[in-house]
């Protein structure tokens, strides 16, 4: 068979040999000017809203599918179907679901599933953990998903983790720091401008710093720096002003859109004006001040494919850092350089801060993350086993032992449905569905193990601290 490739008669010339310049010119069209970009963008925007409007409900919003008794008892509330039905029958005040045909399978909204789970947790077997582990009195955990390479699965991983954590019963906030807004689209967010993004939270943090500085200046008899109009506006804003609900009852969103990119120019200008402003604390400080860390269990931050100021903010806010990468040479290579850049970026911040701290006799700072893991995404075991093994050998425990398989379920699900957890399993071959779901369930399980370990460590430390005092 391999010989065929050499037989001239069988194959025509390669496509790049027979190009006629006149025919090429005839096809070319006019040169492109700037205005043409606007027209192209316009066309894309119309196409996008056409696609996005398909499958929306009457109010023009996304809606989440229903969950069947089979899926609930298989994946969400692990009890026998017969037992599940008996409990519903015995408790008519509980959601009873709806069926498409007389006597057909019962389907429930996620809200109803959450109520049912709470009931089983309160009444059911104590041996089963119907509700996910969440130590009392501890803050929400922030999880940043980052890598400066695009297309490695940051957004898909963050979105699927957010959805599986929500299905598991956690209250989830998703923060989109990528001005491309993919995460925002997935969660049906509406963001008019940068005032509906994380931007005002960062601006307010800077504004608060400026106010303190000004107080000091006044005390010294110096003239205060004026707060410009947009900073003054930000001083009135809280996280609640930028958090929006989504079609998931227990997932909220701080969205993004193109204007958020403005922050990449604005932040360094602020930093130049006030060298002592700790921009890396901005997001955490504001979320904490506005009570967000008490209102949610897990906060996922999706970042742009760059190590810019927004990413630095997301990374320094994070307790857990996940770095998705494909098992290919190029992605391994660029992930290595990403860690190198993380080192130099944070080391130079620490150095700068600690130089000043030492001079003033103040304690030194050091960044710390509860857990950092690289995660192999879009894994093809038939082709990439060897490379993944090599990556494992060189990254050691930093690489999560779980590899997220490539699955055709992603991207096949349709315009309104993003990924596996929003898809209706009846649209797929059951085998394909089960396998695709399994790999994302395992991605979640690997993450949940980190989360549980990190919370447990804190819980034990807190107990030890209380015992000592």
Ligand X SMILES: Nc1ncnc2c1ncn2[C@@H]1O[C@H](COP(=O)(O)OP(=O)(O)O)[C@@H](O)[C@H]1O
- Residues forming contacts to ligand X in the complex (CB under 6 A) are 150-156, 182, 305, 377-378, 404, 406-407, 410-411
151 binds, among ligand X, Mg ion, none (CB under 5 to 8 A by kind): ligand X
Burial class (CB in 10 A: 0-12, 13-18, 19+), 372: middle
In angstroms, rounded to a whole number, what is the distance separating the alpha carbons of residues 39 and 446?
45
In angstroms, rounded to a whole number, what is the distance separating the alpha carbons of residues 382 and 180?
33
Contact, 315 vs 175, CB < 8 A?
no
Decide if residue 154 touches Mg ion (CB under 5 A): yes
For ligand X, give the closer residue by CB, 78 or 150: 150
For ligand X, give the closer residue by CB, 406 or 455: 406
Q: Which stretch binds Mg ion (CB under 5 A): 121-129, 148-156, 168-176, 231-239?
A: 148-156
For ligand X, give the closer residue by CB, 88 or 152: 152
For ligand X, give the closer residue by CB, 257 or 377: 377
For ligand X, give the closer residue by CB, 189 or 305: 305
Decide if residue 311 touches Mg ion (CB under 5 A): no
Contact, 160 vs 421, CB < 8 A?
yes
188 binds, among Mg ion, ligand X, none (CB under 5 to 8 A by kind): none
In angstroms, rounded to a whole number, what is the distance separating the alpha carbons of residues 9 and 6?
9
411 binds, among Mg ion, ligand X, none (CB under 5 to 8 A by kind): ligand X
Site string for Mg ion, 163-202 (x = CB under 5 A): -------------------x--------------------
242 binds, among Mg ion, ligand X, none (CB under 5 to 8 A by kind): none
For ligand X, give the closer residue by CB, 152 or 320: 152
Would you state the structure tokens that stand for residue 352, as one six-digit string?
A: 């700068």
Decide if residue 149 touches Mg ion (CB under 5 A): no
Of 344, 319, 231, 339, the C-alpha closest to 277 is 231
Interface residue with Mg ion, options 147, 155, 246, 328 (CB under 5 A):
155
Buried b or exposed e, range 246-264, using 16+ CB within 10 angstroms: bbbbbbbbbbbbebbbebe
For ligand X, give the closer residue by CB, 116 or 399: 399
- Minimum Å gap between C-beta 158 and Mg ion is 8
Decide if residue 250 touches Mg ion (CB under 5 A): no
Residue 263 φ then ψ, to 5°: -60, -30
For ligand X, give the closer residue by CB, 377 or 384: 377
> In a 3-state reduction of DSSP, which class is residue 17?
coil
Beta-bridge partners for 244: 253
Q: How many CA atoms lie within 13 A of 414 on its CB side?
A: 14
Q: Which stretch binds Mg ion (CB under 5 A): 118-126, 155-163, 209-217, 398-406?
A: 155-163
Secondary structure letter of residue 364 according to DSSP: P
In angstroms, rounded to a whole number, what is the distance separating the alpha carbons of residues 56 and 296?
27
Decide if residue 141 touches Mg ion (CB under 5 A): no
- Minimum Å gap between C-beta 363 and ligand X is 37
Residue 460 Rama label (left phi>0; alpha psi -120 to 50; beta):
alpha
Binding site for Mg ion (CB under 5 A): 154-155, 182
């Amino acid at each position: 068979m391999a010989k065929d490739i050499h037989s001239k008669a069988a194959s025509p010339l390669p496509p790049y040999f027979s190009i006629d310049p006149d025919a090429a010119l005839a096809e070319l069209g006019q040169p492109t000017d700037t205005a043409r970009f606007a027209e192209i963008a316009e066309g894309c925007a119309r196409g996008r809203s056409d696609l996005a409007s398909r499958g929306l409900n009457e109010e023009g919003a996304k809606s989440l599918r229903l969950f069947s008794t089979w899926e609930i008892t298989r994946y969400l509330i692990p009890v026998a179907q017969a037992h599940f039905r008996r409990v519903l029958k015995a408790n008519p005040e509980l959601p009873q679901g709806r069926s498409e045909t007389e006597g057909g399978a019962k389907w429930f909204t996620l809200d109803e599933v959450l109520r049912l789970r709470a009931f089983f947790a309160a009444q059911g077997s104590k041996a089963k953990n119907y509700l996910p582990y969440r130590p009392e009195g501890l803050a929400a955990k922030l999880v940043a998903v980052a890598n400066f390479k695009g297309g490695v699965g940051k957004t898909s991983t963050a979105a699927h983790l957010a959805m599986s954590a929500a299905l598991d019963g956690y209250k989830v906030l998703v923060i989109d720091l990528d001005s491309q807004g993919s995460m925002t689209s997935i969660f049906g967010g509406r963001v008019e401008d940068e005032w509906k993004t994380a931007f005002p939270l960062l601006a307010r943090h800077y504004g608060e710093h400026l106010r303190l500085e000004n107080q000091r200046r006044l005390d010294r008899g110096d003239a205060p720096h004026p707060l410009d109009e947009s900073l003054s506006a930000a001083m009135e804003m809280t996280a609640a002003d930028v958090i929006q609900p989504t079609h998931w009852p227990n997932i909220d969103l701080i969205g993004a859109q193109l204007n958020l990119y403005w922050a990449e120019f604005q932040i360094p200008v602020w930093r130049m004006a006030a060298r002592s402003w700790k921009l890396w604390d901005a997001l955490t400080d504001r979320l904490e001040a506005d009570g967000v860390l008490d209102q949610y269990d897990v906060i996922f931050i999706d970042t742009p494919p760059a190590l810019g100021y927004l990413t630095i903010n997301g990374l320094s806010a994070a307790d857990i850092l996940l770095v998705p990468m494909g098992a290919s040479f190029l992605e391994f290579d660029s992930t290595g350089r990403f860690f190198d850049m993380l080192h130099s970026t944070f080391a130079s911040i620490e150095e700068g801060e600690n130089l000043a701290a030492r001079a003033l006799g103040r304690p030194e700072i050091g960044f710390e993350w509860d857990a950092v893991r690289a995660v192999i995404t879009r894994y093809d075991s038939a082709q990439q086993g060897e490379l993944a093994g090599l990556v494992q050998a060189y990254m050691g425990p930093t690489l999560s032992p779980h590899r997220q398989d490539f699955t055709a379920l992603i991207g096949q699900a349709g315009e309104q449905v993003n990924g596996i957890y929003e898809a209706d399993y009846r649209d797929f071959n059951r085998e394909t569905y089960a396998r695709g779901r399994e790999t994302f369930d395992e991605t979640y399980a690997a993450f949940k193990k980190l989360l549980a370990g990190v919370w447990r460590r804190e819980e034990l430390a807190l107990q030890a601290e209380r015992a000592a005092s």
